[in-house]
Amino acid sequence: MGERPIILVTRRLPEAVEARLLRDFDARLNPDDRLLSEDEILALAEGCDGILTSAIDRMPGSLIRRLPERVKIIATFSVGVDHIDLAAARARGIIVTNTPDVLTDATADVAILLLLAAARRLTEGSRLVREGKWIGWRPTQLLGLGLQGKNLGIVGMGRIGLAVARRARAFGLSIHYHNRNRLPPEKEEGAVYHETLETLLPLCPFVSLHCPLTAETRHMINRKTIELMPPEAVLVNTARGGLVDDEALIAALKSGRLFAAGLDVFEGEPNLHPGYLELDNVVLLPHLGSATREARNAMGFRCLYNLDCFFSGRPVPDALT
């Protein structure tokens, strides 16, 4: 290893983060912010000690197994790690780190934003005004759904799920949740635990997804599980697009079986299913959950802290492998 560790940085990062990277590492930046192909990542990783990657750069086993021997750490600028084959990294002795905690509030805010926007028909209202078609207030215009006194079902009660629950209570929602494990009562704060989606969904006119994407959770929202929801329910997804079977959700939104959806993430993004674009009862955002200046800086510095620890021989706080 040279004097300063050499780090391949796959995406452009906030200015302050790049400045610190350049100060302490020999950083190979991506100033054009171009999405790199697997082959480009392999070529650029030649001679590198580590890779600072992001949620959008896929690192399957086929890539990880071909990385130069010298690469010993992959720090991802994300809390989600479904884009990285952790088992392959473990097998190669590569440490993978993520950025928990620092984006919790930003992401929970967007979940609530989408919940309100979907329930209150933001897409239609905004379009009416922007297209100059609003002819004035009417008692029956664009009536949405009130939240007060109803149940919100949270699927995945980790840090972000808990932060959404805290916010949702302020809107008068009661919390039900499904999680791999039941939380201790002090964390539940009265939320009702469901061991399965089958018992959770029928009770929840609002549902928000906050679990990781894995082989088990892929398409957990599908034709069958949508049928379990109360008529005219609202679905929010700020976790991962792959949790939802797009065809099933689009059909349910089209038929009115679901009232609306608020989506920040999409399977195969940025190429979302074109069916969504034809629907008025869906609010669409371009994966903005963690997109505040504060959160994105903190995510970058969290990556750097993990790299600092690794290269100075200290325990790596967010090591997943």
Shortest separation between residue 251's beta carbon and ligand DGY, angstroms:
26
Contacts with ligand DGY by CB under 6 A lie at 55, 78-80, 103, 289-290
Whose Cβ is closer to ligand DGY: residue 57's or residue 246's?
A: 57
Whose Cβ is closer to ligand DGY: residue 163's or residue 173's?
A: 163
Q: How far apart are CA 67 and CA 73, in angstroms?
A: 11
Whose Cβ is closer to ligand DGY: residue 9's or residue 200's?
A: 9
Shortest separation between residue 111's beta carbon and ligand DGY, angstroms:
12
Shortest separation between residue 78's beta carbon and ligand DGY, angstroms:
3
Shortest separation between residue 103's beta carbon and ligand DGY, angstroms:
5
Contacts of 170 (CB under 8 A, 6+ apart): none
Catalytic annotation on 120?
A: no
Whose Cβ is closer to ligand DGY: residue 98's or residue 151's?
A: 98
Among the listed residues 121, 178, 240, 302, the single catalytic one is 240
Exposure b/e, 151-190, CB count within 10 A at least 16 = b: bbbbbbbbbbbbbbbebbeebebbbbbbbeeebeeeebee
Among the listed residues 92, 176, 178, 287, the single catalytic one is 287
Whose Cβ is closer to ligand DGY: residue 151's or residue 290's?
A: 290
Catalytic annotation on 240?
A: yes
Shortest separation between residue 61's beta carbon and ligand DGY, angstroms:
20
Among the listed residues 18, 38, 124, 269, the single catalytic one is 269
Catalytic annotation on 287?
A: yes
Whose Cβ is closer to ligand DGY: residue 52's or residue 103's?
A: 103
Amino acid identity for residue 262 in this structure:
G
- Starting at the edge strand found earlier in the chain, the sheet holding 95-97 runs 26-28, 6-9, 50-54, 73-77, 95-97
Amino acid identity for residue 123 in this structure:
T
Shortest separation between residue 248's beta carbon and ligand DGY, angstroms:
22
Q: Is-contact 107 240, C-beta < 8 A? A: no
Residues forming the active site? 240, 269, 287
